[in-house]
Amino acid sequence: MDNDVYGHINNVTYYSYFDTAINRYLIDEGGLDIHNAPVVGYIVSSNCQFRKPVAYPEAIESGLRVAKIGGSSVTYEVGVFREGDPEAAAFGQVVHVFVDRRKHASAPIPGEIRAALERILAD
């Protein structure tokens, strides 16, 4: 399903990869409970630059870092690479605003998540 009619991964699929890389990091390193956490991240902005095609079933890898951390928001930089290739096939930015799940209002980034984000903050 990842490939489009032209035989390469469809551009919209990269956004799914970005979301997966970010949430996997938040779960594994920030302790995010995606089902029960009172504060979660909502994507409010995203973009992607495409450099070269990739086609399923080629293996891919992703790279993730943080470009900016605010009080309730974070800007991520994400790259998608063919496995073992140092040059990104696609890269982009994603902005999360952390939101109180019940109030649907912005909330401070939870401490454990903030600490995990700071560990991958770009210089």
Ordered structural domains, the chain, with CATH: 11-119 (3.10.129.10)
pLDDT tens digits, one per residue of 91-122: 999 999 999 999 999 999 999 999 999 999 99
The mean pLDDT of 16-31, rounded to a whole number, is 98
Kindly tell me if the per-residue pLDDT of 82 is higher than 90.
Answer: yes
Transcribe 53-122 into DSSP letters.
Answer: ---TTS-EEEEEEEEEE-SSEEEEEEEEEETT-SS-SEEEEEEEEEEETTTTEE-PPPHHHHHHHHHTB-
pLDDT digits (tens, 9 = 90+) for 39-71: 999 999 999 999 999 999 999 999 999 999 999
In this structure, are residues 27 and 37 in contact, taking their beta carbons and an 8 Å threshold? Answer: no
Q: Say what the pLDDT of residue 39 is.
A: 98
Average pLDDT over residues 1-25: 93
Does the pLDDT value for residue 13 go beyond 90? yes
Query: What predicted TM-score, i.e. pTM, was given to this entire model?
Result: 0.93
- On the question of pLDDT at 29 being above 90, the answer is yes
| Least confident among 6-15, 30-39, 67-76 | 6-15
pLDDT value at position 1? 82
